[in-house]
Amino acid sequence: MAELKMDELDRLSSSTRVTVRRADQPDPRGKCVVYWMQRAQRALDNPALEVAVRAANALGKPCVVFFAPVPFYPHANLRHYRFLNQGIPAIAEGLKKRGIGFVLRRFPDHHLLKFCAEVHPALVVGDENPMRELEHWRTKAADQLRDPFWTVDADVIVPSKLLMKEQYGAYTARPIIRRLLPEFLQPVGNTRAKTEWQPPRGLRSLKPDIDITEGWKLDLSVAPVNDIVGGTDQALKRLKSFIRNELANYPVDRNRPERDGTSRLSAYLHFGHIGPHTVALAIQKANAPKVAKEAYLEQLIVRRELAINFVRFNPDYDNFESGTPWAHKSLAEHAGDPRKIYSERQLEDAQTHDPLWNAAQMQMVKTGFMHNYMRMYWAKKILEWSKTPARAFQMAVYLNDKYELDGRDPNGYAGIAWAIVGKHDRPWFERPIFGKIRYMSFNSTSKKFDSKSYIRQIEELSPQR
């Protein structure tokens, strides 16, 4: 029996999706397996949670999730925390159905080491996050924990490490991802815990419906949004609606900002309220044209995981230095070109001469969302209206991270890098200011969709309160 137990643990720890950050045998005297939940905020189709539960079952111990939000998550404000907060009840409900414990705490009672001292785990499992600050948290935990510590790449289909290095573009990443998809695009599993969690006497945990931000000193300048609600249950409703109503027309409508033709799942994916496996498998099974399903899966898997690859392997992912050499050279050659400059305040308040850009900015400010096609145009105009490309990159990151619900995310940084410094793109025709960076203009962009309708829709939106 002990040999079977060790075989299962060895199989779990040797999975390509798992990184053993502190190697040791699980303590047989341990009372449980702890899953330190951060990025993958869900009980459904969560590869990190699945590893934790299976390890707990092999050890004959209960599994407990420890979730402890903090007010100093990089660049987060009240808009982001409200959406995160809305997802907590669904986490608690989903874990309860699987017989998994849930301990919710918040800053300043958020320390993983202190929690582990209270529950005495045999093993600690976490999820991975390629962002530098969050990776630092995991590295620090590995140094300080006394228990074995594994992290699981839970929010990609193909484990990020298998792309091995920073990929030059989609055309280099796509063959690798597609070759590995049959192996990794499989149901995650939602194993039930065999041993029920019984919390130690006196163990403190907050109620799932608590306002975790009460008393915190947060950036209150960005209001929460009303039109989208966080949580796995809400994400599943949105996915079902997209498949039923929009998927068939996705190849065309995804490039029409005036139409509601996208999945609107980016915020749920960012917070981990839904995972890419859930979405991709549902799309595969959908009764929709093959071309539509392939177009969506290209964005969900290849493009999204290319962005995560960029952040994982490029330490300058959120600044100008991440650009390609040809882009740096070309932009430098046009550093002295005359340009119209807008101040930070003018950009943030959407006070430019360009009504299409202003509409995109206000869509983001008011709703926490900007259509993907407009994101490209939006970032390129910031390049055109800034003193330097480095300043343009900084400003685009600032606005994206502040207002977008899915800000502070690899997709956002990769998109800005594509627009401003040629990442994942190729040289184009020489132009003033842009050099060989791909150019987008008001006239050409407006001809590709009903820009007047889009602008009118945004002008009619009410500010969020």
Measured CA to CA, the distance from residue 396 to residue 402 in angstroms comes to: 10
State whether 130 and 30 are in the same domain: yes
Q: Is residue 191 part of a domain?
A: no
11 and 146 in a single domain? The answer is yes
Do 353 and 417 belong to one domain? yes
Asked whether residue 333 falls in the same domain as residue 243, the answer is no
Beta bridge partners of 101: 64
Q: Which amino acid, 32?
A: C
Domain presence at residue 94: yes
CATH number at residue 25: 3.40.50.620
288 shares its domain with 424 = no
Look up residue 331 and give its two tokens.
Answer: 């932009």
184 in helix, strand or coil? helix
Does residue 405 contact residue 225 with C-beta atoms inside 8 Å?
yes
- What integer pLDDT is reported at residue 135 of this predicted model? 96
Residue 372 structure tokens: 């993907």
Domain with 420, as residue range(s), is 320-459
Domain assignment present for 223:
no
Q: Which two tokens stand for residue 397?
A: 């990151």
Instruction: Looking at the structure, tell me whether residues 343 and 379 fall in a common domain.
Output: yes
Domain count, the chain: 3
The set of residues, in sequence order, having a beta carbon less than 8 Å from that of 281 and lying 6+ positions away, is: 185, 187
Q: In this structure, are 289 and 368 located in the same domain?
A: no
Q: How many CB atoms lie within 10 A of CB 465?
A: 7
Determine contact, residues 118/101, Cβ cutoff 8 Å.
Answer: no
Domain boundary among 104, 121, 154: 154
**DSSP state at residue 436:** T
- Residue 429 exposed, middle or buried by CB count within 10 Å (0-12, 13-18, 19+): exposed
**Residue 83 falls within a domain, yes or no?**
yes
* Residues 137, 246 within the same domain: no
Q: Is residue 437 part of a domain?
A: yes
CATH number (domain holding residue 256): 1.25.40.80
Domain-terminating residue out of 134, 154, 174? 154
Q: Which of 285, 313, 341 is the last residue of a domain?
A: 313
pLDDT tens string, the chain, 465 residues long: the values are 456 677 899 999 999 999 999 998 898 899 999 999 999 999 999 999 999 999 999 999 999 999 999 999 888 999 999 999 999 999 999 999 999 999 999 999 999 999 999 999 999 999 999 999 999 999 999 999 999 999 999 999 999 999 999 999 999 999 999 999 999 999 999 999 999 999 999 999 999 999 999 999 999 999 999 999 999 999 999 999 999 999 999 999 999 999 989 999 999 999 999 999 999 999 999 999 999 999 999 999 999 999 999 999 999 999 999 999 999 999 999 999 999 999 999 999 999 999 999 999 999 999 999 999 999 999 999 999 999 999 999 999 999 999 999 999 999 999 999 999 999 999 999 999 999 999 999 998 988 999 999 999 999 986 654
Co-location of 286 and 326 in the same domain: no
Same domain, 368 and 305: no
Tell me whether the omega of the peptide bond preceding residue 108 falls within 30 degrees of 0, making it cis: yes
The pLDDT assigned to 465 comes to 44
In a domain, 397, yes or no: yes
What CATH number did the domain enclosing 412 receive? 1.10.579.10
Q: Report yes or no on 215 lying in a domain.
A: no
354 and 436 fall within a common domain: yes
Tokens representing residue 329 in the block: 């050279």
- The phi-psi region of residue 120 (left if phi > 0; otherwise alpha if psi is between -120 and 50; otherwise beta) is left
122 shares a domain with 16: yes
Please state whether the predicted TM-score (pTM) of the whole model is above 0.75.
yes
Q: CA 176 → CA 160, 183, 276, 305, 381, distances in Å?
A: 11, 12, 18, 11, 33
